[in-house]
Amino acid sequence: MIKGFTPRLYQETILATATTKNTLVVLPTGLGKTNIFLMLAAHRLKLYPDSKILLIGPTRPLIDQYLEVFRKNFDIPEGKMAVLTGMVAAEKRTELWNNATLIFSTPQGLENDLLAGKISLENVTLLGFDEAHRAVKDYSYVWIAKQYIKTARFPRILALTASPGSDMEKITEVCQNLFIEDIEVRTESDQDVKPYVQEMEIDWVKVNLPPELLEIKKLLELSLRSKLEVVKKMGFLSGITGVTKGDILKLQARLHAGMASDKKHFPLLMAVSALSEAMKVGHALELIETQGVTALYKYVERLKEDAKAAKTKAVKRLFTDNNFLAAIEKTWQLYEKKAEHPKLDELKRIIKENVADVKGAKAIVFNQYRDSAQKLQQELNKVEGVRASIFVGQMKKGDTGLSQKEQKELLKRFAEGEFNAIIATSIGEEGLDIPKVDLVVFYEPIPSAIRQIQRRGRTGRQEKGKVIILVTRDTRDEAFRWVAHHREKRMHSILKTLKSRLKLTPIAQRQLDKFA
């Protein structure tokens, strides 16, 4: 059944586990997770020739990608493969399901079809979950896995991810929700993987925040401090030094839960409102530290519109804060002067040296914010020899965006050399088979181990790759750099612990516990 590729040693080792147990496979991007699923699909169809194989992925472009891998490497008639997404009419989906052996689907439509009784998982002998780290809380993967274990006659699950996270609770939840019985982890440094991994050079390029941006930063820090002081005064914070965005979000959730039972509790109301203001100021602070003037200016303009529309009292109150108003005024002045973050000049230099001046070279620049991404595209296109495009997700309320069809087309044009640089938001991190690139630039470090691993995996696939991470000294950039590093190390430690635990717990008992 398999054609066109020779399995690698680590793929065969992982397959040996996956044939006997529901397995979570943690493998860096670009090392052939889909091919492991393909090999297991061939094995299951040999055991159960009249059964169905189902692979679920979170987005339509990913689904199209799986189909291409199977077309190329699996010996099966085209008519026996089906793609089920929200773009396919409900009646047609049922027809395709009934006639197909290999089915590739997004989770939400599949969940709806199962709930409506239009399809059954009884005859599915292999269910794959790609980007398996999503299997938490009420994401569709969770319910589908439960239904599968309940109804399938010969169930087998293969869960695939480049990183399941760095939190014991989260990884345990993913494993429980997907009925995982064993874990197979590989890193670039493992002996059986090393021969297939290209050398990767990682450079950290540091810049200093100029005095005029430091001034805005200090004003925003004073504003943020004043909001947190209110919360402390109300008795909900013991101190305000080192309070993070995560701390604020957790406290907000706790206070909102308190408000549900006492809506007239004045200190609660005051604290909740102050935290809402603190979140907005904190975001502004992050933008000036890591992105620059344009991103902050556009964010403040949106806040002004919200204040005019009287959407929330917290936003209106923000515009009575003298420190915040002074920061806005200085931002407006710098925006008029076209001043920017020093990262921008560094980025232009890096792209010129590594892409514009190197024949056939390509780069991906990762940036978290659409406003910044648009600015970077404009500026990079001013550099001689650079042809940059923006790669973002689907449109959000009046924002810029690309449909999934446009995303696919853009990647095709990038592969063909029409562009030699793309500026990607988080859409470019997950799963998509982005064409070979020589350079990946992080415009900012990110505190997420999952996203850092995904970004890094976009280069060094066939040839030596290079990663450059831009860092602003004495800002959250430096903190995020180390947070991601420690979270990645913690992830591998947790996975080893869980693998040991799974071996100690009988499979049947774990499945009974799930439905208890």
pLDDT at 510 over 50: no
Distance CA 149, CA 147 (A): 6
Q: Is 247 a member of any domain? A: yes
Distance CA 435, CA 383 (A): 22
Q: Is 310 a member of any domain? A: yes
Distances, alpha carbon 246 to alpha carbons 37, 233, 251, 277, 314, in Å = 36, 20, 9, 15, 19
- Number of residues written out for the chain: 516
Q: Are residues 382 and 327 in the same domain?
A: no
Q: Are residues 363 and 459 in the same domain?
A: yes
Is residue 399 within 8 A of residue 436, CB to CB? The reply is: no
Distance CA 175, CA 201 (A): 33
Q: What is the pLDDT of residue 509?
A: 43
Q: Are residues 25 and 174 in the same domain?
A: yes
Q: Is 327 a member of any domain? A: yes
Distance CA 337, CA 212 (A): 12
Burial 172-183 (b: 16+ CB within 10 A, else e): bbbbbbbbbbbb
Q: Are residues 329 and 457 in the same domain?
A: no
Out of 292, 309, 336, a domain closes at 336
What is the phi/psi pair of residue 242, to 5°? 75, 15
Q: Are residues 422 and 285 in the same domain?
A: no
Q: Are residues 13 and 159 in the same domain?
A: yes
Distance CA 124, CA 132 (A): 19
Q: Is 183 helix (H, G, I), strand (E, B) or coil?
A: strand
Q: Is 54 a member of any domain? A: yes
Per-residue HEC secondary structure of 423-438 comes to EECHHHCCCCCCCCEC
Q: Are residues 133 and 37 in the same domain?
A: yes
Domain harbouring 397, CATH code: 3.40.50.300
Range of the domain at 270: 211-336
CA proximity to 365, closest of 357, 378, 515 = 378
Distance CA 443, CA 462 (A): 24
Q: What is the pLDDT of residue 121?
A: 97
Q: Is 230 a member of any domain? A: yes
Domain harbouring 299, CATH code: 1.20.1320.20
Q: How does pLDDT run across 379-397, given as a tens digit for each residue?
A: 999 999 999 999 887 755 5
Out of 313, 336, 359, a domain closes at 336
Q: Are residues 399 and 441 in the same domain?
A: yes
What is the phi/psi pair of residue 134, to 5°? -75, -10
**Residue 483 has which token pair?**
């947070």
pTM (predicted TM-score): 0.74
Is residue 217 within 8 A of residue 482, CB to CB? The reply is: no
Q: Are residues 401 and 316 in the same domain?
A: no
Q: Is 306 a member of any domain? A: yes
Find the range with the poorest average confidence among 135-139, 183-187, 245-249: 245-249
Residue 213 CB coordination number (10 Å): 24
In the chain, the number of structural domains is: 3
Q: Are residues 379 and 356 in the same domain?
A: yes
Q: Is 2 a member of any domain? A: no
Is residue 346 within 8 A of residue 207, CB to CB? The reply is: yes
Find the range with the poorest average confidence among 262-271, 350-359, 397-406: 397-406
Tell me, what amino acid is at 387? Answer: R
Q: Are residues 59 and 161 in the same domain?
A: yes
Out of 336, 371, 389, a domain closes at 336
Q: How does pLDDT run across 266-306, given as a tens digit for each residue?
A: 788 888 889 999 999 999 999 999 999 999 999 999 998 88
Q: Are residues 326 and 353 in the same domain?
A: no
Q: How does pLDDT run across 214-223, given as a tens digit for each residue?
A: 999 999 999 9
Q: Is 122 a member of any domain? A: yes
CA proximity to 60, closest of 34, 88, 96 = 88
- Output the CA torsion sign for 400, 408, 161, 191: negative
Tokens 């869980």 sit at which residue? 498
Q: How does pLDDT run across 142-173, given as a tens digit for each residue?
A: 999 999 999 999 999 999 998 887 788 888 99
Residue 469 bridge partners (DSSP)? 204, 442
